[in-house]
Protein backbone atom coordinates (compact mmCIF):
# COMPACT_ATOMS: atom_id res chain seq x y z
CA UNK A 1 0.00 0.00 0.00
CA UNK A 2 1.24 3.48 -0.83
CA UNK A 3 2.30 5.72 2.05
CA UNK A 4 0.01 8.41 0.59
CA UNK A 5 -3.35 7.71 2.24
CA UNK A 6 -5.27 10.85 1.25
CA UNK A 7 -5.16 12.54 -2.16
CA UNK A 8 -7.43 15.53 -2.71
CA UNK A 9 -7.29 16.81 -6.28
CA UNK A 10 -8.87 20.20 -7.03
CA UNK A 11 -12.17 19.51 -5.26
CA UNK A 12 -15.00 22.02 -5.05
CA UNK A 13 -18.46 21.96 -3.48
CA UNK A 14 -21.24 24.48 -3.93
CA UNK A 15 -24.41 25.04 -1.92
CA UNK A 16 -27.51 27.15 -2.35
CA UNK A 17 -28.68 29.67 0.23
CA UNK A 18 -32.36 29.18 -0.75
CA UNK A 19 -34.00 25.92 0.34
CA UNK A 20 -36.55 25.90 -2.50
CA UNK A 21 -33.93 26.60 -5.15
CA UNK A 22 -31.64 24.01 -3.55
CA UNK A 23 -34.30 21.32 -3.95
CA UNK A 24 -34.92 22.34 -7.56
CA UNK A 25 -31.20 22.41 -8.38
CA UNK A 26 -30.83 18.99 -6.77
CA UNK A 27 -33.51 17.55 -9.04
CA UNK A 28 -31.83 19.13 -12.07
CA UNK A 29 -28.45 17.68 -11.09
CA UNK A 30 -29.90 14.19 -10.58
CA UNK A 31 -31.60 14.41 -13.96
CA UNK A 32 -28.37 15.50 -15.65
CA UNK A 33 -26.47 12.61 -14.04
CA UNK A 34 -29.08 10.09 -15.21
CA UNK A 35 -28.82 11.52 -18.74
CA UNK A 36 -25.03 11.35 -18.59
CA UNK A 37 -24.64 15.11 -18.85
CA UNK A 38 -21.71 16.86 -17.20
CA UNK A 39 -22.43 19.27 -14.37
CA UNK A 40 -21.97 22.94 -15.07
CA UNK A 41 -19.26 24.79 -13.16
CA UNK A 42 -21.22 28.02 -13.30
CA UNK A 43 -22.86 29.24 -10.11
CA UNK A 44 -26.63 29.50 -10.35
CA UNK A 45 -28.74 32.03 -8.49
CA UNK A 46 -28.18 31.96 -4.68
CA UNK A 47 -25.34 29.43 -5.02
CA UNK A 48 -21.86 29.84 -3.53
CA UNK A 49 -18.68 27.79 -3.31
CA UNK A 50 -18.36 26.30 0.19
CA UNK A 51 -15.07 24.68 -0.92
CA UNK A 52 -13.33 25.90 -4.03
CA UNK A 53 -10.40 24.20 -5.82
CA UNK A 54 -8.66 22.66 -2.80
CA UNK A 55 -5.82 20.16 -3.23
CA UNK A 56 -3.46 18.37 -0.84
CA UNK A 57 -1.91 15.00 -0.06
CA UNK A 58 -1.35 13.37 3.32
CA UNK A 59 0.92 10.41 3.96
CA UNK A 60 1.00 7.90 6.78
CA UNK A 61 2.56 9.56 9.81
CA UNK A 62 1.20 12.97 8.81
CA UNK A 63 -1.18 15.13 10.86
CA UNK A 64 -2.84 17.95 8.94
CA UNK A 65 -4.19 20.88 10.93
CA UNK A 66 -7.27 22.21 9.15
CA UNK A 67 -7.87 25.77 10.34
CA UNK A 68 -10.03 28.71 9.38
CA UNK A 69 -12.86 30.90 10.61
CA UNK A 70 -16.38 29.59 11.10
CA UNK A 71 -17.89 29.12 7.64
CA UNK A 72 -14.49 28.77 5.95
CA UNK A 73 -15.40 25.32 4.59
CA UNK A 74 -13.68 23.01 7.09
CA UNK A 75 -16.70 20.85 7.98
CA UNK A 76 -17.77 20.62 4.32
CA UNK A 77 -14.30 19.39 3.39
CA UNK A 78 -14.37 16.79 6.19
CA UNK A 79 -17.79 15.53 5.08
CA UNK A 80 -16.50 15.06 1.55
CA UNK A 81 -13.47 13.19 2.87
CA UNK A 82 -15.77 10.94 4.91
CA UNK A 83 -18.04 10.28 1.94
CA UNK A 84 -21.12 11.96 3.44
CA UNK A 85 -21.36 14.33 0.48
CA UNK A 86 -19.60 14.24 -2.86
CA UNK A 87 -17.70 17.07 -4.52
CA UNK A 88 -19.07 18.91 -7.54
CA UNK A 89 -15.60 19.04 -9.08
CA UNK A 90 -12.35 17.19 -8.53
CA UNK A 91 -11.62 13.83 -6.92
CA UNK A 92 -10.77 12.34 -3.53
CA UNK A 93 -8.77 9.14 -3.04
CA UNK A 94 -8.76 7.55 0.42
CA UNK A 95 -6.74 4.39 1.09
CA UNK A 96 -7.55 2.26 4.13
CA UNK A 97 -10.03 2.36 6.99
CA UNK A 98 -11.43 5.76 7.96
CA UNK A 99 -12.35 6.70 11.52
CA UNK A 100 -14.28 9.96 11.78
CA UNK A 101 -15.61 12.19 14.52
CA UNK A 102 -16.97 15.20 12.67
CA UNK A 103 -20.40 15.66 14.26
CA UNK A 104 -22.05 14.57 17.49
CA UNK A 105 -23.27 11.02 17.06
CA UNK A 106 -21.93 10.61 13.52
CA UNK A 107 -22.39 6.97 12.50
CA UNK A 108 -24.52 6.13 15.54
CA UNK A 109 -28.07 4.81 15.41
CA UNK A 110 -29.80 6.71 18.23
CA UNK A 111 -32.26 3.94 19.11
CA UNK A 112 -29.48 1.34 19.50
CA UNK A 113 -27.37 0.99 22.62
CA UNK A 114 -23.74 1.98 22.85
CA UNK A 115 -22.73 -1.67 22.70
CA UNK A 116 -24.77 -2.29 19.54
CA UNK A 117 -23.36 0.83 17.88
CA UNK A 118 -19.79 -0.30 18.57
CA UNK A 119 -20.43 -3.58 16.75
CA UNK A 120 -22.26 -1.81 13.91
CA UNK A 121 -19.38 0.63 13.38
CA UNK A 122 -16.85 -2.17 13.48
CA UNK A 123 -18.82 -4.23 10.94
CA UNK A 124 -19.00 -1.25 8.55
CA UNK A 125 -15.20 -0.97 8.73
CA UNK A 126 -14.83 -4.65 7.87
CA UNK A 127 -14.05 -6.12 11.31
CA UNK A 128 -15.35 -9.54 12.30
CA UNK A 129 -17.29 -9.98 15.53
CA UNK A 130 -14.28 -11.76 17.01
CA UNK A 131 -12.00 -8.83 16.19
CA UNK A 132 -14.46 -6.35 17.71
CA UNK A 133 -14.77 -8.57 20.83
CA UNK A 134 -10.99 -8.23 21.31
CA UNK A 135 -11.19 -4.41 21.19
CA UNK A 136 -14.51 -3.96 22.98
CA UNK A 137 -13.09 -3.72 26.50
CA UNK A 138 -10.52 -1.09 25.53
CA UNK A 139 -13.18 0.98 23.73
CA UNK A 140 -15.53 0.99 26.72
CA UNK A 141 -12.73 1.66 29.21
CA UNK A 142 -11.38 4.61 27.23
CA UNK A 143 -14.84 6.12 26.66
CA UNK A 144 -15.66 6.01 30.40
CA UNK A 145 -19.26 5.15 29.53
CA UNK A 146 -19.35 2.34 32.08
CA UNK A 147 -22.83 1.13 33.04
CA UNK A 148 -24.43 3.24 30.29
CA UNK A 149 -22.97 1.09 27.52
CA UNK A 150 -26.31 -0.77 27.24
CA UNK A 151 -28.38 2.45 27.20
CA UNK A 152 -29.75 3.79 23.87
CA UNK A 153 -27.42 6.44 22.44
CA UNK A 154 -30.33 8.90 22.13
CA UNK A 155 -30.26 9.15 25.94
CA UNK A 156 -26.55 10.05 26.04
CA UNK A 157 -25.35 13.56 26.84
CA UNK A 158 -23.27 15.35 24.22
CA UNK A 159 -20.12 14.58 26.21
CA UNK A 160 -20.95 10.87 26.37
CA UNK A 161 -21.53 10.76 22.60
CA UNK A 162 -18.16 12.41 22.00
CA UNK A 163 -16.36 10.02 24.36
CA UNK A 164 -17.87 6.94 22.76
CA UNK A 165 -17.51 8.29 19.21
CA UNK A 166 -13.84 9.14 19.59
CA UNK A 167 -13.10 5.87 21.38
CA UNK A 168 -14.68 3.84 18.56
CA UNK A 169 -13.05 5.91 15.80
CA UNK A 170 -9.57 5.68 17.34
CA UNK A 171 -9.51 2.10 18.64
CA UNK A 172 -10.63 0.33 15.45
CA UNK A 173 -7.18 0.70 13.89
CA UNK A 174 -7.99 3.52 11.43
CA UNK A 175 -5.57 4.25 8.62
CA UNK A 176 -7.18 7.69 8.42
CA UNK A 177 -8.61 9.60 11.41
CA UNK A 178 -10.77 12.71 10.94
CA UNK A 179 -11.35 14.79 14.08
CA UNK A 180 -13.48 17.93 14.06
CA UNK A 181 -13.78 20.69 16.69
CA UNK A 182 -16.56 18.57 18.23
CA UNK A 183 -13.83 17.10 20.45
CA UNK A 184 -13.91 20.35 22.44
CA UNK A 185 -17.28 19.27 23.89
CA UNK A 186 -15.56 16.74 26.15
CA UNK A 187 -14.24 17.61 29.59
CA UNK A 188 -10.60 18.57 30.12
CA UNK A 189 -9.42 15.21 31.48
CA UNK A 190 -10.92 13.33 28.52
CA UNK A 191 -9.49 15.80 25.98
CA UNK A 192 -6.03 15.21 27.41
CA UNK A 193 -6.52 11.45 26.97
CA UNK A 194 -7.62 12.02 23.37
CA UNK A 195 -4.62 14.17 22.47
CA UNK A 196 -2.21 11.65 23.99
CA UNK A 197 -3.90 8.90 21.97
CA UNK A 198 -3.73 10.97 18.77
CA UNK A 199 0.03 11.35 19.37
CA UNK A 200 0.34 7.54 19.25
CA UNK A 201 -2.07 7.10 16.32
CA UNK A 202 -0.18 9.54 14.09
CA UNK A 203 2.77 7.14 13.73
CA UNK A 204 0.67 4.56 11.88
CA UNK A 205 -2.12 6.71 10.39
CA UNK A 206 -2.92 9.93 8.58
CA UNK A 207 -4.80 12.37 10.83
CA UNK A 208 -6.78 15.47 9.88
CA UNK A 209 -7.37 17.63 12.94
CA UNK A 210 -9.75 20.62 12.96
CA UNK A 211 -9.35 23.11 15.80
CA UNK A 212 -9.51 26.80 16.65
CA UNK A 213 -6.73 26.30 19.21
CA UNK A 214 -3.46 27.17 17.55
CA UNK A 215 -1.51 25.78 20.52
CA UNK A 216 -3.03 22.35 19.88
CA UNK A 217 -2.47 22.62 16.14
CA UNK A 218 1.19 23.51 16.66
CA UNK A 219 1.58 20.63 19.11
CA UNK A 220 -0.06 17.86 17.08
CA UNK A 221 0.29 18.79 13.43
CA UNK A 222 3.22 18.62 11.02
CA UNK A 223 1.22 20.10 8.13
CA UNK A 224 -1.42 22.81 7.95
CA UNK A 225 -4.18 23.87 5.55
CA UNK A 226 -5.75 27.30 6.04
CA UNK A 227 -9.18 27.83 4.49
CA UNK A 228 -10.87 31.20 3.97
CA UNK A 229 -14.25 31.49 2.24
CA UNK A 230 -13.78 27.99 0.85
CA UNK A 231 -10.39 28.76 -0.73
CA UNK A 232 -6.99 27.43 0.25
CA UNK A 233 -5.11 30.36 1.77
CA UNK A 234 -2.06 28.32 2.77
CA UNK A 235 -1.01 24.68 2.53
CA UNK A 236 2.31 23.21 3.56
CA UNK A 237 4.56 21.82 6.27
CA UNK A 238 5.50 25.22 7.72
CA UNK A 239 2.94 25.09 10.53
CA UNK A 240 4.02 28.36 12.17
CA UNK A 241 3.76 30.20 8.84
CA UNK A 242 0.28 28.77 8.31
CA UNK A 243 -0.82 29.92 11.76
CA UNK A 244 0.62 33.34 10.95
CA UNK A 245 -1.50 33.49 7.80
CA UNK A 246 -4.60 32.45 9.78
CA UNK A 247 -4.01 35.15 12.40
CA UNK A 248 -3.47 37.75 9.67
CA UNK A 249 -7.10 37.26 8.58
CA UNK A 250 -8.49 38.05 12.04
CA UNK A 251 -9.56 41.71 12.42
CA UNK A 252 -8.08 43.65 15.33
CA UNK A 253 -10.42 43.74 18.31
CA UNK A 254 -11.77 47.13 19.34
CA UNK A 255 -11.33 48.43 22.89
CA UNK A 256 -14.10 47.31 25.21
CA UNK A 257 -14.78 49.06 28.51
CA UNK A 258 -16.76 47.13 31.13
CA UNK A 259 -17.69 47.55 34.80
CA UNK A 260 -18.39 51.22 35.40
CA UNK A 261 -16.61 52.36 32.27
CA UNK A 262 -18.05 55.83 32.85
CA UNK A 263 -15.58 56.10 35.75
CA UNK A 264 -12.60 55.72 33.40
CA UNK A 265 -11.76 57.54 30.18
CA UNK A 266 -8.72 56.38 28.25
CA UNK A 267 -7.16 59.25 26.31
CA UNK A 268 -4.10 57.54 24.86
CA UNK A 269 -1.91 54.46 25.05
CA UNK A 270 1.50 54.28 23.38
CA UNK A 271 3.82 51.30 23.20
CA UNK A 272 7.56 51.86 22.81
CA UNK A 273 6.99 55.44 21.62
CA UNK A 274 5.25 54.11 18.51
CA UNK A 275 2.06 55.64 17.11
CA UNK A 276 1.30 52.57 14.97
CA UNK A 277 -2.05 50.87 15.49
CA UNK A 278 -0.29 47.54 16.10
CA UNK A 279 3.41 48.12 16.82
CA UNK A 280 5.94 45.32 16.30
CA UNK A 281 8.01 44.44 19.36
CA UNK A 282 11.10 42.24 18.85
CA UNK A 283 11.19 39.34 21.30
CA UNK A 284 13.47 39.89 24.34
CA UNK A 285 13.28 43.68 23.93
CA UNK A 286 11.66 45.91 26.58
CA UNK A 287 7.95 46.66 26.31
CA UNK A 288 7.22 50.23 27.43
CA UNK A 289 3.60 51.23 28.03
CA UNK A 290 2.47 54.85 28.49
CA UNK A 291 -1.17 55.48 29.47
CA UNK A 292 -3.13 58.68 29.91
CA UNK A 293 -6.61 58.48 31.42
CA UNK A 294 -9.16 60.29 33.49
CA UNK A 295 -10.62 58.42 36.44
CA UNK A 296 -13.31 58.93 39.02
CA UNK A 297 -12.12 60.12 42.43
CA UNK A 298 -13.33 56.82 43.92
CA UNK A 299 -10.67 54.93 41.92
CA UNK A 300 -7.65 56.95 43.08
CA UNK A 301 -6.87 54.38 45.80
CA UNK A 302 -7.33 51.44 43.45
CA UNK A 303 -4.54 49.10 42.34
CA UNK A 304 -3.65 48.62 38.68
CA UNK A 305 -2.80 45.51 36.74
CA UNK A 306 -2.04 45.06 33.07
CA UNK A 307 -3.15 41.74 31.57
CA UNK A 308 -1.68 40.38 28.34
CA UNK A 309 -3.98 38.07 26.35
CA UNK A 310 -3.34 36.15 23.15
CA UNK A 311 -5.41 36.21 19.96
CA UNK A 312 -7.86 33.75 21.50
CA UNK A 313 -8.31 36.08 24.49
CA UNK A 314 -6.59 33.65 26.84
CA UNK A 315 -4.58 35.46 29.54
CA UNK A 316 -0.88 34.65 29.21
CA UNK A 317 0.72 37.18 31.58
CA UNK A 318 -0.10 39.87 34.16
CA UNK A 319 1.78 42.68 35.89
CA UNK A 320 0.56 44.29 39.14
CA UNK A 321 1.32 47.82 40.27
CA UNK A 322 3.50 48.24 43.38
CA UNK A 323 1.03 50.65 44.93
CA UNK A 324 -2.27 52.43 44.36
CA UNK A 325 -3.02 54.77 41.45
CA UNK A 326 -2.48 57.73 43.75
CA UNK A 327 1.13 56.63 44.20
CA UNK A 328 2.14 55.09 40.85
CA UNK A 329 0.30 57.50 38.55
CA UNK A 330 1.27 61.10 37.88
CA UNK A 331 -2.01 62.67 38.99
CA UNK A 332 -2.50 66.24 37.84
CA UNK A 333 -4.92 67.22 40.64
CA UNK A 334 -6.02 64.44 43.00
CA UNK A 335 -8.66 66.68 44.61
CA UNK A 336 -10.79 67.06 41.48
CA UNK A 337 -13.80 64.72 40.95
CA UNK A 338 -12.09 63.22 37.88
CA UNK A 339 -8.31 63.60 38.11
CA UNK A 340 -6.05 62.96 35.12
CA UNK A 341 -3.57 60.13 35.51
CA UNK A 342 -0.42 59.25 33.59
CA UNK A 343 0.93 55.71 34.01
CA UNK A 344 4.21 54.39 32.70
CA UNK A 345 5.18 50.72 32.82
CA UNK A 346 8.27 48.93 31.54
CA UNK A 347 8.32 45.16 31.11
CA UNK A 348 12.00 44.24 30.56
CA UNK A 349 13.10 41.60 28.04
CA UNK A 350 9.64 40.37 27.17
CA UNK A 351 9.72 36.59 26.62
CA UNK A 352 6.51 36.12 24.65
CA UNK A 353 6.72 33.99 21.51
CA UNK A 354 5.86 35.45 18.12
CA UNK A 355 2.23 36.35 17.60
CA UNK A 356 -0.38 39.02 18.24
CA UNK A 357 -1.31 40.03 21.80
CA UNK A 358 -3.70 42.43 23.51
CA UNK A 359 -3.48 44.59 26.63
CA UNK A 360 -6.26 44.88 29.21
CA UNK A 361 -6.13 47.39 32.07
CA UNK A 362 -7.78 46.44 35.37
CA UNK A 363 -8.31 48.72 38.39
CA UNK A 364 -9.16 46.78 41.56
CA UNK A 365 -9.67 47.46 45.24
CA UNK A 366 -6.54 45.38 45.97
CA UNK A 367 -4.03 43.37 43.90
CA UNK A 368 -5.97 40.49 42.36
CA UNK A 369 -9.17 41.69 44.06
CA UNK A 370 -12.60 42.58 42.74
CA UNK A 371 -12.27 44.79 39.63
CA UNK A 372 -13.66 48.30 39.99
CA UNK A 373 -13.09 49.04 36.30
CA UNK A 374 -11.81 46.95 33.40
CA UNK A 375 -10.72 48.21 29.97
CA UNK A 376 -10.45 45.27 27.57
CA UNK A 377 -8.21 45.14 24.50
CA UNK A 378 -7.05 48.74 24.75
CA UNK A 379 -4.05 48.03 22.54
CA UNK A 380 -2.69 45.23 20.38
CA UNK A 381 0.92 44.52 19.52
CA UNK A 382 2.84 41.90 17.61
CA UNK A 383 5.91 40.05 18.84
CA UNK A 384 8.44 39.30 16.11
CA UNK A 385 10.94 36.47 16.34
CA UNK A 386 13.31 34.62 14.05
CA UNK A 387 12.03 31.35 15.51
CA UNK A 388 8.72 29.82 14.41
CA UNK A 389 7.30 28.77 17.77
CA UNK A 390 3.76 29.07 19.09
CA UNK A 391 3.67 28.22 22.81
CA UNK A 392 2.92 31.48 24.69
CA UNK A 393 6.44 31.78 26.10
CA UNK A 394 9.91 31.10 24.78
CA UNK A 395 12.18 30.81 27.80
CA UNK A 396 15.91 31.41 27.83
CA UNK A 397 18.03 28.96 29.77
CA UNK A 398 21.57 27.69 30.25
CA UNK A 399 22.00 24.62 28.07
CA UNK A 400 24.94 22.29 28.69
| Domain membership flag for residue 139 | yes
Same domain, residue pair 60 and 163: yes
Task: Tell whether 173 and 279 lie within a shared domain.
Answer: no
Asked if residue 301 and residue 196 are part of one domain, the reply reads no
- Asked if residue 390 belongs to a domain, the reply is no
Tens of pLDDT, residue by residue over 104-155, are 556 688 888 989 988 988 887 778 888 889 989 998 888 888 889 999 988 9
CA distance 303 to 328: 9
pTM (2 decimals)?
A: 0.77
Same domain, 233 and 278: no
Assigned domain for 389 exists? no
Beta-strand relationship, 63-67 and 256-258: unpaired
How many structural domains is the chain composed of?
A: 2
Q: Is the pLDDT of residue 52 over 90?
A: yes
Q: Are strands 176-179 and 206-210 parallel, antiparallel or unpaired?
A: parallel
Percent of the chain at pLDDT exceeding 70:
93
Where does a domain end: 248, 279, 307? 248
Residue 2 has a pLDDT of: 56
**Burial (Cβ within 10 Å: 0-12, 13-18, ≥19) of residue 140:** buried
What are the phi and psi torsion angles at 244 (to 5°)?
-60, -45
CB 400 within 8 A of CB 347: no
HEC states along 237-273? CCHHHHHHHHHHCCCCCCCEEECCHHHEEEEEEEECC
The percentage of residues in the chain with a pLDDT greater than 90, rounded to a whole number, is: 30
Most trustworthy range by pLDDT among 197-201, 269-273, 394-398: 269-273
* 226-255 confidence digits (pLDDT tens): 999 999 999 999 888 898 888 888 777 766
Q: How confident is the model at residue 260 (pLDDT cuts 50, 70, 90)?
A: very low
In this structure, the answer to whether residues 30 and 147 fall within a common structural domain is yes
- Look at residue 22 and tell me whether its pLDDT is greater than 90: no
Q: Please tell me whether residues 66 and 107 are part of one structural domain.
A: yes
Containing structural domain, residue 116: 4-248
**pLDDT exceeds 90 at position 37:** no
Q: Is residue 392 part of a domain?
A: no
We report the CATH number of the domain holding residue 164 as 3.40.50.300
Is the same domain home to 287 and 167?
Answer: no
> In 52-110, where does DSSP find H-type helix?
74-81
Same domain, 225 and 318: no
Amino acid sequence: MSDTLITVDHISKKFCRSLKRSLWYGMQDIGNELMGRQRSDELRKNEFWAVNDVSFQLKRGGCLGLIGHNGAGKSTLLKMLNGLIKPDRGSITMQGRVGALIELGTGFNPILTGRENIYNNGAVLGFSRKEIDAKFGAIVEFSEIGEFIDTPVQNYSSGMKVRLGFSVASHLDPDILLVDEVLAVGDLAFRLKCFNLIDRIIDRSAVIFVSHSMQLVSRLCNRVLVLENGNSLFAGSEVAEGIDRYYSTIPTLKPDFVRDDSNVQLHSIILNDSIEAQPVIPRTSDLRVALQLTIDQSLVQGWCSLVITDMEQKPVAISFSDDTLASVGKISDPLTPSPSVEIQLTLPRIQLSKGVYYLTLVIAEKPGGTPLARLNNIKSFRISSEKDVWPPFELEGEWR
